[in-house]
Amino acid sequence: MIYTAIDLITLVFEIIVTYMLFDAVLDSRRGGALARAAVAAAYSVLTWIYNTYVESFVLNFVVMLLLTFMCTVVYKDSVLKKLLMSMLYMLFIAISNFVFILTGLAFGIPIEEMVREKSIYNIMGLVIVMILMTIMVKAAGLFFNRSRAKVSVSYWILLLSIPVVNIIFILHYTRYLYGINAEFSYSLVILTLSVMYSTLLVFYLFDKLTALLSERDALSEQVGGQGRQTAGVNKKEEHIMSVRHDIINHMRVIQSLIRRGDPEAADRYIDELDLDFDGDDGLIDTGNTAIDILVSGKKSAARRLGIDFREKITVPEGLKLSNADAVILLGNLLDNAIEGCERAAAAEKRIRLTLKYRNNYLLCVVENTSNPVKIGRGALKTSKADADSHGIGLRNIKRIVNKYNGESVQKYENGVFISEILIFID
């Protein structure tokens, strides 16, 4: 009874570890939690039947490979990749068992006791193998998912010290039980649950840590980019204000030359004026400097990529939207539009920006050529490989929308992705 309970515990743990590997290396899931639960149940039942009624070492590898491959049906990746990942999982099992046997020999445990069915050392082996499997699965996940934040060596040492200590404790405790002829006791069940729970908890917290570090790094990069954009806006704003200040004096000189009857001198004076706005292609001038400079820069960048960029902007000069919020909102929307056009397979690519202010409401609509996009429950998710980093831009757009009590809608129609945002500005 106790052995059966421990066997079930390790089986559940094995299913969790299997999904941990496949979640890290295979493409998006399908079918949801219900499908995963159904596959896990089938895996458990078939494994129990095989272990109960079939005792064939030759068939063991083939059967376990097929059962592991069965767990991949809830993923959308290619059959070949699923098969390779299933074989990788089987390799991890083989390595874990080999390490367990070497460790047991180092502690003076005979191989016969380690492999004997329903032996206390066999139970110990199930637990240790699962811990070693978890370590290798997490290492593989970090290798295949390199977008994760870099974790210092000290974190790794602290992380691995816990399962290593668990293994050492299990070895000593098992030898103690064997020495007093207490091969089976409920303390083994409690120990098994505790060790496996602590192992899963450690790696769960590690995942949360790396996710937070990734978000921190991405946010720092995003803030740095926004800071550079805002600095550019401020610099060009100073240039424009300087030109506007001097233009009055220039106009007086030109007017004086014309009144004196010397138009040629006026023409020469005009030619000598430095009216270059940092080489911007088609500088937009609505009176709102932050929006003008930002949109002008994105328009120039889009045109250099062969994208037809057109805008229709009607906003007052004194729009009560801070420069920082304008940079975050429009910068992220237009960056996403440009990148969407770059990835699109269409021959002709275009971006249309509409920005209107009326009755204390600001309407922003960005349309761009795009590959098909699936939008579930009104929420757009990044399609980039570096999801943790690039999701920051989408969250920043949402943050600005929420800040101004606004609404955001995304949709895809006939090869065009449309993002509509309405925010309240009092």
Is residue 308 assigned to a domain? Answer: yes
207: left (phi over 0), alpha (psi -120 to 50) or beta: alpha
Question: Do both 324 and 209 map to the same domain?
Answer: no
Question: Do both 296 and 192 map to the same domain?
Answer: no
Question: Do both 214 and 289 map to the same domain?
Answer: no
- The amino acid that residue 151 corresponds to is V
Phi, psi of 373 (to 5 degrees): -130, 130
Do 283 and 296 form a contact (C-beta atoms < 8 A)? yes
Element (H, E) at 408: strand 407-413
Question: Do both 361 and 212 map to the same domain?
Answer: no
Q: Where are the beta strands (DSSP E) in 277-403?
A: 308-314, 350-358, 361-369
Phi, psi of 49 (to 5 degrees): -60, -45
Question: Do both 190 and 296 map to the same domain?
Answer: no
Do 302 and 366 form a contact (C-beta atoms < 8 A)? no
Residue after which a domain boundary falls, among 196, 222, 248: 222
Is residue 139 assigned to a domain? Answer: yes
Is residue 238 assigned to a domain? Answer: no
The whole domain housing 161 covers 2-222
Is residue 273 assigned to a domain? Answer: no
Question: Residue 352's beta-bridge partner residues?
Answer: 310, 367
Q: How far apart are CA 39 and CA 354, in angstroms?
A: 49
- Burial of 295 from C-beta contacts in 10 A (0-12 / 13-18 / 19+): buried
The CATH number of the domain holding residue 413 is 3.30.565.10
Do 333 and 366 form a contact (C-beta atoms < 8 A)? yes
Question: Do both 323 and 206 map to the same domain?
Answer: no
Provide the number of structural domains found in the chain: 2
Q: What 3-state class would DSSP assign to 405?
A: coil
Question: Do both 200 and 344 map to the same domain?
Answer: no
Q: What HEC string does 88-122 produce?
A: HHHHHHHHHHHHHHHHHHHCCCCHHHHHCCCCHHH
Token pair of 16 as six digits: 């969790």
Do 21 and 141 form a contact (C-beta atoms < 8 A)? yes
Is residue 242 assigned to a domain? Answer: no
The structure's pTM equals 0.46
Q: How far apart are CA 231 and CA 233, in angstroms?
A: 5
Q: How far is CA 208 from the centre of its chain?
A: 13
Is residue 236 assigned to a domain? Answer: no
Question: Do both 95 and 21 map to the same domain?
Answer: yes
Is residue 270 assigned to a domain? Answer: no
Question: Do both 317 and 177 map to the same domain?
Answer: no
Residue after which a domain boundary falls, among 176, 201, 222: 222
Question: Do both 61 and 166 map to the same domain?
Answer: yes
Q: How far apart are CA 9 and CA 351, in angstroms?
A: 56
Residue after which a domain boundary falls, among 222, 244, 268: 222
Is residue 324 assigned to a domain? Answer: yes
Do 307 and 271 form a contact (C-beta atoms < 8 A)? no
Question: Do both 188 and 322 map to the same domain?
Answer: no
Strands 416-424 and 361-369 come out as antiparallel
Question: Do both 310 and 208 map to the same domain?
Answer: no
In order along its 426 residues, the chain shows pLDDT tens digits of: 666 676 677 777 788 888 888 887 786 566 667 888 888 888 888 877 777 776 666 677 788 888 888 888 888 778 888 888 888 888 888 888 888 888 778 777 777 767 666 666 666 777 788 788 888 887 777 677 654 445 667 777 777 787 788 777 777 777 776 666 655 566 666 777 777 777 778 777 777 776 666 656 655 555 555 555 556 556 655 655 665 556 667 677 777 878 888 878 877 777 776 544 444 445 677 777 778 888 888 888 899 899 999 999 988 877 888 877 888 889 889 999 999 999 998 889 999 999 999 888 899 999 999 998 877 554 444 444 433 434 456 778 888 888 888 888 889 888 999 999 999 886
What is the maximum alpha-carbon separation in the chain?
Answer: 119
Do 178 and 120 form a contact (C-beta atoms < 8 A)? yes
Q: What confidence tens digit (pLDDT) does each residue in 217-226 have? A: 655 555 555 5
Q: How far apart are CA 207 and CA 226, in angstroms?
A: 28
Please report the pLDDT score of residue 242 as a whole number: 60
